């Protein structure tokens, strides 16, 4: 599962670098926030 998250993160970063669109950056930030909240929540 960690590997999938790393792949998704890399894909999002690539889109940010390639497109440089604010929408993509916003989506990436939301993704990071949701990822962090999931990591801090106990199972």
41 belongs to a structural domain: no
Q: Is the pLDDT higher at 40 or at 3?
A: 3
Q: Is the pLDDT higher at 20 or at 2?
A: 2
pLDDT surpassing 80 at residue 14: no
Predicted pLDDT at 6: 87
Total domain count for the chain? 1
10 belongs to a structural domain: yes
11 belongs to a structural domain: yes
Our CA angle for 18, 29, 14, nearest 5°, is 20
43 belongs to a structural domain: no
Q: What is the pTM of this model?
A: 0.35
Q: What is the mean pLDDT of the chain?
A: 75
29 belongs to a structural domain: yes
Q: Which two tokens stand for residue 22?
A: 């604010």
18 belongs to a structural domain: yes
Taken in order 40, 43, 26, 5, is the CA torsion positive or negative? positive
Which domain covers residue 17, as residue numbers? 2-36
Q: Which two tokens stand for residue 30?
A: 């939301």
Predicted pLDDT at 20: 61
């Amino acid at each position: 599962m960690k590997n999938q998250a790393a792949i998704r993160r890399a894909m999002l970063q690539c889109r940010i670098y390639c497109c440089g669109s604010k929408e993509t950056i916003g989506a990436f930030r939301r993704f990071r926030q949701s990822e962090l909240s999931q990591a801090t929540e106990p199972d």
